[in-house]
Amino acid sequence: MQRETLLDLIQAGDTARLGDFFYTSAAKAKGTVKVRPADVGWEDHTLTADKFQRAETDPADIDEAMRWCVLVSDIPECDGDTAAFMYLDGETGSAIIAALSGPAHDHAVAIRMVARDLRAEQTEAPARKTVTVEAAPEPRKAANDNKPKFASIDAETLLGMEFAPIKYVIPGYVAEGLTLLGGRPKLGKSWLALDFGVAVASGGRSLGAECEQGDALYLALEDNQRRLQDRLRVVLPRFKRPDMSRLSLLTEAPKIGAGLIEMLDKWRQSVPDPRLIIVDTLAIVRPPKGKNQDSYAADYEALSPLQRFASEHRLAVVVVTHVRKAEAEDPLEMISGTNGLTGAADSIMILNRTTDGPKLYGRGRDVEEVEKALKFDGGRWSVLGDVDDVKRSGERKQIMEALAAASGPMTPAEIVTATGMKLPNVNYLLRKMVAAGEAEKQGYGSYVSTPQTPMTPQSSSSHYPPMGTKTEESEDSEGGTLESEVPDCVPTFLRRAA
C-alpha cells in the first residue's frame, strides 16, 4: 500500500493530521504554531510576526490549514530580531522555510538552523532566501531522535516511555552521531583515528575501553596504501594478529556534495554491521565556500550532511581536523574555523599537548565531559588517567623521590625545599600517601618512604583478540616465520563495483 504524503492529506482535507504535522514540527524547531491572516500572502513583503495569530487545537478547515505555519523567533547565532517560518505549499504539499525578519546577513543562517531542526533537505543557493522541503508522509526521523510523535505529552507518560539507548562505538569517547576530532599537525590524530578503526573492526580495545566488534571504514585521505600498511604493522601485534577484514581503507574520496555521502551509503549497505566511519581530514572533503556565503554558514553547511547521515543511520562518524595555534580557555574554541563546525557536530574531542604532557578533552550532546592524560607508545595512544589525577601522581613521585634520597625523616617544609612544590599540596598529598602506604609518619610532622612493589606491565597484544584457530604465520625454508600478506586496501564494495 502506497504511503500517504502531505499533499494527500491536503487533498483529502485531513485537518487533524495536518495539525499534528505542524505541532510536531514546532516541537522540533522550538517554535510556535501560528496562523497567517487571510488578507496577507506568504510572498507579501509586509508580512511581519505581529500579524500572525496563535493557533488553537486543529485547523477549522483546509483553507485555514493552508494559512498555518511554524514561527521560530529565537534562533541561535542570529540577531534577536531575526525570525523564520515554515508553511505548506497547497499545490505541491512541500514545506517552505523562509526568513521573515532581522538583518539580511542572518537570513541564510536562520533558514539553515530551522531546516536542521526539522531534518530538512536544503537546496543549494536558494532563491528569495527560502528552502523547499519535498513533501513526505511525515518529517524524516533520525534514528536517535527521542521526540514524541504527537504535539505534547505529559511528564508522567514520558517518564514511563522506553527509548533505545545511545550506542557507543568507543565507550566513554565516541558515540553514534558526528564527532569532530581536532589536534595540532603531527601530534598523532591519525594514529588515534586508526586505533579507533582497528579496535572496532577487531572487537579490541581503544583508550582502555573494550569495543563491540563491527564494520569500520577509514578514509585516510592524507596517506597512501604503503604508509597505511606500515602503520597497521606497527599497531597490530606481530603474532596472533586479529582478523582485519572488517576494516575498509580508502585513500581517495569525493567531496561533500559531490558524491561523498552516496559513497558512504554504498559502503554502509555493503557490510553486515556498519558502526564507524572516519574521515581524515575535513579539509580534503569539505565543499568550496560559496561566493557570497558567510564563514559560519559555510562551516555549518560543510558538516551538516555528515551529521544527518550519521544520525539517520545510527553510525559514528569521526571527522579529523586541525586546531588553531593559540590556546583557548574553552578547548572547543581551539578548532580551526568558526563556531559553525562545533555547532554542527554532536561531539568534539581535542588532542593537545601542554607542559604537563599530551591530553584528550571531549564534550558532546551524548558524551559526558572527559579529560584524560595520554601516553603515545608503539603507534598507539593509551590513557594514563584523569588529567588532575595524573598531575597529582607526578607530584607524589617527586615527594617519594625526595623521601627516598633523604638520610632521615623529612618535614613538609623540608620536602617543599627539595621539590619546589607548594606547602598545601605537600600536606594534602602526604596524608593521601600515608593512607595508601606510600609513606610512613614518624613522630610529629616527620615522614619517611616505604618500599614499593613494582607492577607487572600487561602485554600489548591484549588490546586485540586473536583470530582463534586461524594460522597467521607460516614457516619459511630456514625455519623462521613469515607474516601473512596484508589484505588489499581497496574495500570490497568498491572492488565489486569495479
Q: 86 with 95: CB under 8 angstroms?
A: yes
Q: Could you give the residue ranges of the DSSP H alpha helices within 204-316?
A: 225-235, 260-270, 282-285, 295-313
∠ Cα 173 174 178 (to 5°): 135
Query: How confident is the model at residue 158, as a pLDDT?
Result: 76
Query: How confident is the model at residue 466, as a pLDDT?
Result: 54
| pLDDT < 70 regions, the chain | 1-3, 119-151, 326, 389-393, 451-498
Q: Which three-class secondary structure string do you get for 381-430?
A: EEEEEEHHHHHHHHHHHHHHHHHHHCCCCECHHHHHHHHCCCHHHHHHHH
Q: What is the pLDDT of residues 160-174, one digit of tens each?
A: 877 778 889 999 999
The domain spans of the chain are: 6-157, 168-378, 389-449
Query: How confident is the model at residue 122, as a pLDDT?
Result: 37
Residue type, 172: G
**Where do we find the cell 511581519?**
48
Domain 389-449 class in CATH? mainly alpha
User: Given this chain, do its domains 168-378 and 389-449 carry the same CATH topology?
Assistant: no
Burial class, 418, CB count within 10 angstroms (exposed 0-12 / middle 13-18 / buried 19+): middle
Phi/psi at 16 (nearest 5 deg)? -65, -45
Is-above-0.85 flag for pTM? no
User: If you ran DSSP here, which 8-state letter would residue 463 be given?
Assistant: G
User: If you ran DSSP here, which 8-state letter would residue 118 be given?
Assistant: T
**Where do we find the cell 583508550?**
207
Distance between CA atoms of residues 387 and 395, nearest Å = 13
Across 341-476, the runs of DSSP E, i.e. the strands, are 347-354, 357-364, 370-377, 380-386, 439-441, 447-449, 473-475
Query: How confident is the model at residue 280, as a pLDDT?
Result: 93
Query: How confident is the model at residue 224, as a pLDDT?
Result: 92
Q: What is the pLDDT of residues 34-91, one digit of tens each?
A: 999 888 888 877 788 888 988 877 888 999 999 999 999 888 777 778 888 999 988 8
Query: How confident is the model at residue 123, as a pLDDT?
Result: 34
**Architecture of the domain spanning 168-378:** 3-Layer(aba) Sandwich (3.40)
Q: Is the peptide bond before 281 cis (omega within 30 degrees of 0)?
A: yes
Query: How confident is the model at residue 310, as a pLDDT?
Result: 93
**Where do we find the cell 533505545?**
164
